[in-house]
Amino acid sequence: MLNLIRIHLISHLKVLKEKAQEAKDFLRSEGYLNSDFLPIDEGNFILWPLNQDTIPFEGSIVKCKGVGYNKKSRDYRLNLNENIRNLAPRSFDIFGEIAILRLIDDLKDYEEEIAEALLLSHKNIKTVCVDSGVHGEFRIRNLRIISGENNFVSVHKENGMKFEADISKVYFSPRLATERERLSSLVKKEELVLDAFAGVAPFSISLAKKGSKVLSLDSNPEAKMWALKNFIKNGISTGQYRYCTSKFEKFDFKSEKFDRIIMNNPTNSLPFLNMAMDLVTKKGVIHMYLISPKDNSFDISNHLNSGYNCTSKKEVHAYSPSSSLFVFDIGRDSV
Ligand SMILES: C[S@@+](CC[C@H](N)C(=O)[O-])C[C@H]1O[C@@H](n2cnc3c(N)ncnc32)[C@H](O)[C@@H]1O
């Protein structure tokens, strides 16, 4: 009789080290990261353990033995009873010391158990809340605390910066860290940037850190207070930024033009694209974030004035089974 030894091979995404963080953020936000195993360091490459065999990210898929955790506590779901372990969300957002979970209805009776398991395994988390969706013009999450400290204010660390906010009153998404890093790598010193839907100013600050000057707008009055705190917290000098509580479409720009315009209002940015095209300099760029179908049926060129073109379209993260958050970089044809 054949003596078969079963070795459990796990699919891994092999990426260059400089792409490792971007890959990790993507895999985590999409739920592809197999949190039962550790990443493997292979010289210039990192291998991220996956829970499926193919994923839409640049890199190669390698099957090899997974490296398990020594401490069981890293995957919080291992603290749960088996009946709910596989239903509990594998990934969740973290804003500073606050964990934000999205739970399916079947888990309603188990939410406290899930929160306790999370607090037990993540010592940096002090509050666990459930997010039942983002609403209204200000894009505020519907949050309910299920365990831990009764507090929605925290300081979130990202790319060497710190952003403080009350996430029950203003918008913040930790999933945009890679985008903020991308834009800050593109901006040049002395550029004039318009952050048209600025929130608590994470994009504004990421770009101001590189020496650009920013005008930040947001219609939510609560956002300004946190944004001003954050400019100071991150050492941005007062001559480098202006922040106004205003609707983008109501602001009087006089004759000002901008080298870079950030339009991060993905559920409602298209109606403002015309205005942005009028405000951008000849060599300037518009970064427009938009929720659109995954099947590429949306064609941005139908919405561009003549003389403008889309130089890049990138999927930032999935939004629903059929749609994703995309970023379109838009510039002017060179004359
Ligand atoms: C998706 S959030 C993005 C916030 C910020 N850019 C960030 O990355 O955290 C969109 C923001 O646009 C603001 N907003 C919505 N409609 C607006 C408008 N017409 N003019 C200016 N701000 C608006 C909301 O209050 C919200 O803070």
- Measured distance CA(200)–CA(220) in Å, rounded: 10
* Residue-level pLDDT at 67: 79
137 lines ligand 1 (CB under 6 A): yes
User: Which CA distances in Å does 83 have to 74, 130, 134, 175?
Assistant: 19, 20, 29, 30
Measured from the CA of 134, which atom of ligand 1 is nearest?
Answer: 1
217 lines ligand 1 (CB under 6 A): yes
* Residue-level pLDDT at 335: 58
Q: Which domains does the chain have, with CATH numbers?
A: 5-68 (3.30.70.2580), 76-151 (3.30.300.110), 175-332 (3.40.50.150)
- Measured distance CA(245)–CA(224) in Å, rounded: 7
- Do 318 and 309 contact (CB within 8 A), yes or no? no
Model confidence at 4: pLDDT above 50: no
19 CA distance to ligand 1 middle (Å): 29
Three-class DSSP category at 49: strand
43 CA distance to ligand 1 middle (Å): 42
User: Which CA distances in Å does 189 have to 30, 171, 181, 257, 306?
Assistant: 34, 28, 15, 16, 29
Model confidence at 71: pLDDT above 70: no
* Of residues 32 and 100, more confidently modeled: 100
138 lines ligand 1 (CB under 6 A): yes
266 CA distance to ligand 1 middle (Å): 9
Q: Is 100 left (phi over 0), alpha (psi -120 to 50) or beta?
A: beta
Q: What is the mean pLDDT of residues 182-198?
A: 97
pLDDT category at 8 given cuts 50, 70, 90 is low
94 CA distance to ligand 1 middle (Å): 20
* Residues 214-273 pLDDT 10s: 999 999 999 999 999 999 999 999 999 999 999 999 999 999 999 999 999 999 999 999
135 lines ligand 1 (CB under 6 A): no
Global pTM value = 0.80
pLDDT category at 97 given cuts 50, 70, 90 is very high
199 CA distance to ligand 1 middle (Å): 5
220 lines ligand 1 (CB under 6 A): yes
CA-nearest residue for atom 16, ligand 1, is 137
Instruction: Write out the DSSP string of 267-331.
Output: TS-GGGHHHHHHHEEEEEEEEEEEEEETTS---GGGGPPTTEEEEEEEEEEE-SSSEEEEEEEEE
Nearest to 146 by CA among 98, 77, 81, 202: 98
163 lines ligand 1 (CB under 6 A): no
Nearest to 328 by CA among 299, 297, 295: 299
* Residues 144-155 pLDDT 10s: 999 999 999 999
